[in-house]
Structure 1
Amino acid sequence: MRLNENTKIVGKKVILVPYCASHVKKYHEWMKSPELQELTASEPLTLEEEYEMQRSWREDEDKCTFLVLCRATYEKNNDEIDALVGDTNLFLRVNDDEENGCLPVAEAEIMIAEPNARGKGYGWEAMLMLLKYAQINLGIKKFEAKIGTKNEKSLQMFNKMKFKEISRSAVFDEVTLMRFVDEDWVKWLDEQVVLQFENYKCEDLSS
């Protein structure tokens, strides 16, 4: 999504930056992991396919992604590649049903790929930051998350974020959770996270 290609969001523990071509090689190495392939329901890609995927994340208006940097590591050495620990994504659509009408909906994903970065609250903060970004900048009125039934940590995290289970799929072995963006939840979200925006430019982006 081009809307966020010049957006950097700074939190307490993490920094969110757009997915640039300079990040692709490290991301590609992450996704060779069978564990991450299973957790993200992903197929391994060639390096060239990964570059194509990065370009689609930048250009497609129904996708929004930020990579997650460990803020402490980045401020220590000013090296984004070294500080990269994961990514967080939204898939956007319009949901039309009789009860709620046309609602902008986003399916949310979070991945902390670096094993030594897990269990430190990075995924929690990064996901909250993305949800808040989408609420104020994309006008999202409903969030969904589809999580593997064995991924207990992610299920617990989204439950803690006040998402509710709405369905289970035996075929895909996953749980779908949902959260409407209402006044009470926005108030709760504002108590959890404050976004600090900065301008950002990928050195390798073409005009």
Structure 2
Amino acid sequence: MKINENTLLEGKTVVLVPYNEEHVPRYHEWMKSPELQQLTASEPLSLEQEYDMQRSWREDNDKCTFIILDKQRWAEPGVEEEQCMVGDVNIFLTDPTDLSVAELEIMIAEPTYRGRGIGKEVTSIMMCYGVTKFGVRKFQVKIGVDNQVSVSMFKKLHFREVSVCDVFKEVTLELTVDESVRTRLQDGVAYVKERDYRQTCSSRHELFSQ
């Protein structure tokens, strides 16, 4: 989406940045992993196809994605942004007739970053972004039935299980956003700072050393 092409979201342990061309090679390497292919229900793409996909995420009006960075590493002098990549988080507006319904996906691609609460923080930030920027009123997630860690995380975020598909071996969970959910989301990530991505990139070490 064009709406987030210059948006940076700074959390406690992560920084969310737009998915740019320089991120593609590392993302492509991630998606060679059979484990990640299974977890994300994805097919491996060629590098050229991955660049096409990145452009689609940037241009299409029904998709919004951020690359997840390790905030601590990102603040270190001399460390390139691609070296700080942890995973990605996405919102799809799945129903052209109802833009208030969104499917949410998160991938922590680097194994050493799993189990550290990053997924919960990123998901909460992205949900709040979807509610405030797009007017999302219902979130859906589809998770492999064997991925009980993710299922448990979303249930802790008040999602409820609505169906299980034996054919695709996935469970669907949903969360309807009423006023109380909206308030909880906003209060929960009130610490998040939204910054100008390009300006922040040029001065990031000074910014985060303050």
1:36, CA displacement in angstroms? Answer: 0.2
Under a length normalisation based on structure 2, what TM-score does the superposition of the two structures give?
A: 0.90
The residue aligned with 1:67 is 67
Secondary structure of the residue aligned to 2:58 is: helix
Identical columns (%)? 51
1:94, CA displacement in angstroms? Answer: 3.5
Secondary structure of the residue aligned to 2:28 is: helix
Separation in 2, partners of 1:42, 1:127: 20
Secondary structure of the residue aligned to 2:115 is: coil
Q: Is the 8 A contact 1:124 1:157 kept in 2?
A: yes
How well do the aligned residues superpose, as a CA RMSD in angstroms?
A: 1.6
Separation in 2, partners of 1:191, 1:52: 37
The residue aligned with 1:115 is 111
1:201, CA displacement in angstroms? Answer: 3.5
Separation in 1, partners of 2:136, 2:166: 28
1:95, CA displacement in angstroms? Answer: 7.4
Structure 2 alignment gaps of length 5 or more: 202-210
1:184, CA displacement in angstroms? Answer: 1.3
The residue aligned with 1:200 is 197
Which residue, 110, 135, 138 being the options, matches 1:139?
135
Which residue, 84, 101, 104 being the options, matches 1:105?
101
Which residue, 167, 172, 193 being the options, matches 2:168?
172
Q: Is the 8 A contact 1:149 1:175 kept in 2?
A: yes
Separation in 2, partners of 1:49, 1:95: 25
Structure 1 alignment gaps of length 5 or more: 97-101
The residue aligned with 2:34 is 34
The residue aligned with 2:24 is 24
Quick one: which amino acid aligns to residue 135 of structure 2? G
The residue aligned with 1:99 is none
Q: Deviations over 1:1-57 (max 9, x none)?
A: 111101000000100001000000000000000000000000000000000000000
Secondary structure of the residue aligned to 2:95 is: strand
Q: Is the 8 A contact 1:95 1:105 kept in 2?
A: no
Separation in 2, partners of 1:7, 1:152: 32
Q: Is the 8 A contact 2:18 2:66 kept in 1?
A: yes
1:186, CA displacement in angstroms? Answer: 1.5
Provide the aligned length of Structure 1 versus Structure 2.
Answer: 198
1:103, CA displacement in angstroms? Answer: 5.8
Secondary structure of the residue aligned to 2:94 is: strand
Q: Deviations over 1:93-127 (max 9, x none)?
A: 3376xxxxx56111000000001111111111111
Q: Decide which structure has greater strand share.
A: 1
Quick one: which amino acid aligns to residue 8 of structure 2? K
Separation in 2, partners of 1:192, 1:150: 29
Separation in 2, partners of 1:191, 1:197: 15
